[in-house]
Copies of this chain bind each other. A is one copy, B any other.
Amino acid sequence: MSQPAARPLILVTNDDGITAPGIRNLVESIADLGDVVVVAPNNHQSGMGHAITISNILKMWPHDFGMEGVRAYKTSGTPVDCVKLAIYKILDRTPDILLSGINHGSNSSINVIYSGTMGAAVEGALEGIPSVGFSLCDFAEDADFRGACRAVRTVTEKVLKEGTPKGTCLNVNIPKVAPEALKGLRISRQAAGHWADSFEERTAPGGRPYYWMTGNFTDVDSGEDTDEWALRHGYVSVVPVQYDLTAHHAMAELNQWHLGFDS
């Protein structure tokens, strides 16, 4: 039997770098579903949000991902740079799906805004590609990815069939529980949350101060329809994320201002 004429083209990226266990687990979960091309950062790019490299050069190298049939490239850029390089430089057709992750650590609640993993997924959506970011709520290098891989497989199969709602990508977070304890997947909204940051001051050799940012996250949302609620209760959270940032509901209020010069 011959291959189907159009085997799906699957673009994979992440923000923890091309050698992270998370991206390997992701590719292993879906490699049989299509032709996989990995374009991912050479180094850690956590916290890069939607950053792009416009005032500096980008470098790119072929990379041996160590899996048969998987083409891979590593770049000096951010996750969003990787998506742009893939679409406009590497690939000869638009991917059928973009998968980002599996991130080592949660991207639920407002963390979506700082997340390079989700920056890449949003960039895919801007290009009209059904796009999903996956994050496991476990920062450990040797985290157990089995539950996350199950979620990757389920969501990827569904999105290959259905696409994603217009103007959105999906933010999928997997709780840190044993894979058999996962209760299922829950469509959720982004919980309201807050980071209380602090800056630890240290002194460099030579006497000048420098700072490390640390912080504590608090879920300040009592809703039972949030991603944080889902994760706390053993569910995989699935949040549709949009790139139209307009607060449409606030426009009427602002129009009441009758903003004019010298008003």
Contacts and interface: CB of A to CB of B under 8 A. Distances in A.
B58 A51 contact: no
B51 A259 contact: no
A120 B40 CA distance: 26
Contacts of A247: 165, 167-168, 240-242
Interface string A133-148: 0000000000000000
B49 A158 contact: no
Nearest to A125: B247
Interface residues on A, range: 35 or more
A239 B246 contact: yes
Contacts of A192: 244
A21 interface: no
State the majority secondary structure of interface residues on A. mixed
Interface in A162-178: 162, 165-168
A155 B54 contact: no
A30 to B, nearest CB: 15
Contacts of A166: 250
Given A168-B250, A190-B244, A155 B259 contact: yes
Interface centre among A114, A195, A246 (most CB of B within 10 A): A246
B238 A246 contact: no
A112 to B, nearest CB: 6
A53 B47 contact: yes
Interface of A: 44, 46-55, 57-60, 78, 80-81, 84-85, 87-89, 110, 112-114, 119, 122, 126, 150-151, 154-155, 158, 162, 165-168, 182, 184-185, 187, 189-190, 192, 194-199, 202, 208-213, 238-251, 253-255, 257, 259-263
22 contacts: A48-B49, A49-B52, A57-B211, A58-B199, A60-B209, A84-B199, A88-B196, A88-B198, A113-B122, A126-B195, A150-B261, A154-B263, A158-B257, A184-B259, A184-B261, A185-B260, A189-B248, A190-B244, A192-B244, A238-B254, A239-B246, A241-B246
